[in-house]
Amino acid sequence: MLNTVRTLFLTFLHAFQRRATVQYPEEHPYLPPRYRGRIILSRDPDGMERCVACNLCAVACPVDCISLQKTEENGRWYPEFFRINFSRCIFCGFCEEACPTYAIQLTPDFEMSEYARPNLVYEKEDLLISGTGKYPDYSFYHVAGVTIPGKDRGEAKRERPPVDLHTLLP
């Protein structure tokens, strides 16, 4: 009996507590920076595409929603096309983990509803952003030993110049 009265009183007190609901379209919930939302392709600090079309993201994707094709230009690899089908994507973030160049990243944005399913297929121009995303200083070609125009072998960061084999001869 006393328990019942206590329950009634405690429930009544909830009238003066904060409501847990976030009034969504007007208010927005806090999304942490590492929230797994809409997928983007980032660029390196020089403004070049980071993606080297290695296909690791497509391999890692458990629902096979990523498809891309490699092309080559001046020694750099690029995706000829890069397509993510967001009507299949489960936002697991495996692609981001698999990416060796920090190109593919998940962002704190989930407002991507469409009326027609085909509109959820994002092409490379929809995915590519102008910034660097979560890793402002990283540039794959500046730490990798690949030769590209403007950077010869041995000029990457923490890379020693190649040894001239002739100097080793007796």
Partner 1 sequence: MSQIPFLAIVLTPLVILALATLLTWVERRLLGLWQDRHGPNRVGPGGLFQAVADGIKILFKQDWIPPFADKAIFVLAPTIGMMTVLLSFGAIPFTAWSGIVGTLNVGLLFILGMMGLGVYAVVLAGWASNSKYALLGGMRAAAQMISYEVFMGLSLLGVVMIAGSFNLHDIVMAQTHCWFILPQCLGFLVFLLAGIAETHRLPFDLPEGENELGAGFHTEYSGMKFGMFFIAEYAGIILISSLVTTLYLGGWQGPLLPAALWFLLKTTSVVIFFILLRAALPRPRYDQLMALGWKILLPLSLLNVTATGTVLMLRAAG
User: Would you say 6 or 70 has its CB closer to partner 1?
Assistant: 6
Q: How far is the CB of 115 from partner 1 (least distance, A)?
A: 21
Q: State both tokens at 88.
A: 């299949």
User: Would you say 19 or 160 has its CB closer to partner 1?
Assistant: 19
List residues forming the annotated binding site for [4Fe-4S] cluster: 51, 54, 57, 61, 89, 92, 95, 99
User: Would you say 23 or 167 has its CB closer to partner 1?
Assistant: 23
8 Å CB contact between 84 and 37: no
- The residue type of 133 is G
Q: Cα separation of 151 and 144, whole Å?
A: 11
Per the listing, tokens 């981001």 go with 96
At residue 158's C-alpha, the angle toward residues 132 and 148, to 5°, is: 60
> Using CB under 8 A, which of the segments 7-15, 43-51, 68-76, 107-115 binds partner 1?
7-15
Q: Is 2 in the site for partner 1 (CB under 8 A)?
A: no
> Using CB under 8 A, which of the segments 3-11, 86-94, 112-120, 141-149 binds partner 1?
3-11
For partner 1, what does the binding mask look like between residues 8 and 47, x meaning CB under 8 A?
Answer: x-xxx-xx-xxxxx-x------------------------
Q: Cα separation of 52 and 95, whole Å?
A: 14
Q: Cα separation of 51 and 44, whole Å?
A: 9
Q: How far is the CB of 55 from partner 1 (least distance, A)?
A: 46
User: Would you say 20 or 165 has its CB closer to partner 1?
Assistant: 20
Going from the C-alpha of 139 to that of each of 31, 72, 96, 116, the distances in angstroms are 27, 18, 16, 37
Q: Cα separation of 148 and 169, whole Å?
A: 29
Interface with partner 1 (CB under 8 A), residue total: 14
Q: State both tokens at 124.
A: 């490379």
User: Would you say 7 or 69 has its CB closer to partner 1?
Assistant: 7
